[in-house]
Amino acid sequence: MKILLVEDNRDLALNITEYFENKNYTIDYAADGPTGLNLLLGETYDVVVLDVMLPGMDGFRLCEQMREHNNIEVPVIMLTARDREQDKLKGFSVGADDYLIKPFSLPELEARLHALVRRASQSVLGQKNLVVADLVYNPATMSFKRGDVKLSLKPVPRKILVLLMQKANHVVTRQELEQEIWHDDPPDSEVLRSHIYAIRSEINKSSSINLLHTIRGTGYILGETEF
């Protein structure tokens, strides 16, 4: 496993680095946001351990940059001393995959990294374009098109839409979506609704045919048939 650690606390960074190097992992280190982003642009990693409070560019901004502007889909776990729900939601909204509150144990960090890498590797096996009516997702470029129109979605709506396309014409419950996106820290239901609204607005902007349907009290279904 090749890890990128972006952390400005030298003592913590040293502890993490020594722990993983002693277990024969490869780990690169950056002490600030811009250096971390440059490493991501020039190297390939299996997972990123990203502190929130960083000089030059904080972890939220770095994660947003790598997802929105550079389409880097490597799994990210964010480290922070702040355990407020709004901070966690912000991390997930910019594309983080997991969240770990300081202080934490290094074995727990290791276990979480393995889980992230395993989930990411399973998701890319045998990837093909996902197609629902005239809506197409290309996993190689991580891009969506409806007909000839390219769609633009932020990281969380993008993940939700991929899940809905993978289960096209089947009901996906709110609980399934929340568990897949936010794991054990789901936000209130309004957050998911706002993402669904953003998806529906984007995929319907070039077509009069609605593909995303709400199953009241249950969840959502993606398909041509009206439900």
Same domain, 110 and 45: yes
- Which residue is listed with tokens 């946001």? 33
d(CA 60, CA 50): 9
d(CA 220, CA 15): 45
| CATH code for the domain of 10 | 3.40.50.2300
Contacts of 171 (CB under 8 A, 6+ apart): 215, 218, 219, 220, 221
* pLDDT confidence of residue 70: 67
d(CA 198, CA 144): 14
Same domain, 105 and 190: no
* pLDDT confidence of residue 140: 72
* pLDDT confidence of residue 132: 93
> Model's pTM, two decimal places?
0.66
Structure tokens that stand for 169 in this block: 């014409």
What's the whole-number mean pLDDT along residues 58-81?
87
pLDDT band for position 136 (cuts 50, 70, 90)? very high
d(CA 49, CA 181): 18
Confirm whether 227 is domain-assigned.
Answer: no
Same domain, 92 and 139: no
Domain hosting residue 74, numbered range: 2-124
Considering its fold, how many domains does the chain have in total? 2
- Above 70 in pLDDT, residue 21? yes
Q: Residue 218's closest CA among 159, 179, 166, 175?
A: 175
pLDDT band for position 181 (cuts 50, 70, 90)? confident
Same domain, 7 and 106: yes
What's the whole-number mean pLDDT along residues 44-71?
90
Domain end call among 96, 124, 152: 124
- Above 60 in pLDDT, residue 177? yes
| CATH code for the domain of 192 | 1.10.10.10
Domain end call among 109, 124, 139: 124
* pLDDT confidence of residue 137: 92
Q: Which one of 10-24, 31-45, 138-152 scores highest in mean pLDDT?
A: 10-24
Cα maximum dimension of the chain: 58
* pLDDT confidence of residue 5: 98
* pLDDT confidence of residue 90: 87
Q: Residue 54's closest CA among 100, 4, 13, 9?
A: 9
Same domain, 135 and 118: no
* pLDDT confidence of residue 126: 53
* pLDDT confidence of residue 111: 96
Same domain, 63 and 43: yes
What's the whole-number mean pLDDT along residues 159-173?
93
Same domain, 9 and 109: yes
- In this predicted model, what pLDDT tens digit does every residue of 75-128 receive, in sequence order? 999 998 877 778 888 888 888 999 999 999 999 999 999 999 988 776 655 568
Confirm whether 165 is domain-assigned.
Answer: yes
DSSP-derived 3-state class of residue 67? helix
* pLDDT confidence of residue 179: 86
pLDDT mean across residues, the chain: 89
Confirm whether 77 is domain-assigned.
Answer: yes
- Above 60 in pLDDT, residue 142? yes
Torsion of CA 66, 67, 73, 75, to 10 degrees: 80
d(CA 220, CA 34): 39
Q: How far is CA 187 from CA 64, 89, 192, 193, 221, in A?
A: 20, 7, 8, 11, 21
Structure tokens that stand for 95 in this block: 């594309």
Same domain, 103 and 173: no
Domain end call among 124, 139, 161: 124
d(CA 117, CA 5): 15
